[in-house]
Amino acid sequence: MMNQQGQMHQNMHTGMVPPQQNHGGHEVFDVHEVLSGTIGTLNLYTMLRPSVKDQELQTILDRQYQFIQSEYNTTVDCFKSGQDPSVPTQSYKMTQDNDFVYGMQPSQPKKPLQSTSEITDECISGLMLGSIKGAAGSKAMAALEVTNPVVRRVIADSIPNCIEMAYELSIYQNKHHYYQVPQLAQQDMQQLLNAYAPAQMNGQMPNQNQTH
């Protein structure tokens, strides 16, 4: 008991806190939002899976679910302990190619579903994509507020995984013409591509040597 009181007194004197308490107020709220959102994504995937018809989409859903679940456990671990998690961060890698089909094809106007019997793979993949894109935004905002170095790294490392999963889903949608990618006219495209020139790297700030 005396040792604990002595340690607490020393921590108060030096400004140091135990690792499990090494969190700022904004950090706690933002990480709670990230974890709640992750549970929402996992619940969404669980509810959608029985309605998936395409085997490829089912494989993507299962792979992403397992990865998100593991990443969730890693985040919870380091958030509670304030120290390195027992399972380190991983990188999600999609297995398909990254070829996009450009151009527009005629399609029926989209409209809200009238019943659950109308749920299609297009709808499912769109809901998955929307959830992952939302997670990327909330994690980016949270990482900017985190003071605990381990939690900050874990959340920051998870943002590229969201980007990879969203890219995987957008490629799947594009291949099945659910997500079409229009292009600009060639002349407009070239003008925009050439709208910027490189900065001249001279090794110092502009006007640095001017005297007042």
pLDDT at 9: 44
- Selected residue with higher pLDDT from 58 and 20: 58
Quickly count: other Cβ atoms within 10 Å of residue 178's Cβ.
19
Residue 70: pLDDT above 60?
yes
- Segment 73-93, tens digit of pLDDT: 999 999 888 889 999 999 999
- pLDDT band of residue 211 (cuts 50, 70, 90) is low
Residue 78's Cβ-side half-sphere holds a number of Cα atoms within 13 Å equal to 23
State the average pLDDT for the chain: 87
- Segment 6-44, tens digit of pLDDT: 444 444 444 565 555 676 666 788 899 999 999 999 999
Residue 96: pLDDT above 80?
yes
pLDDT at 17: 53
pLDDT at 1: 46
The token duo for 28 is 């706690």
CA distances, 83 to each of 52, 73, 88 (Å) = 39, 14, 11
State the average pLDDT over residues 190-205: 88
- pLDDT band of residue 201 (cuts 50, 70, 90) is confident
- pLDDT band of residue 72 (cuts 50, 70, 90) is very high
- pLDDT band of residue 2 (cuts 50, 70, 90) is very low
Domains by residue range for the chain, with CATH: 21-94+120-193 (1.20.1260.10)
Q: What are phi and psi of 73, to 5 degrees?
A: -60, -40
pLDDT at 18: 56
Residue 67: pLDDT above 90?
yes
CA angle 140, 128, 181 (to 5 degrees): 90
Q: Give the span between the Cα atoms of 113 and 120, in whole angstroms.
A: 10
- Segment 131-148, tens digit of pLDDT: 999 999 999 999 998 889
Residue 68 contacts by C-beta under 8 Å, 6 or more apart in sequence?
38, 41, 42, 45, 165
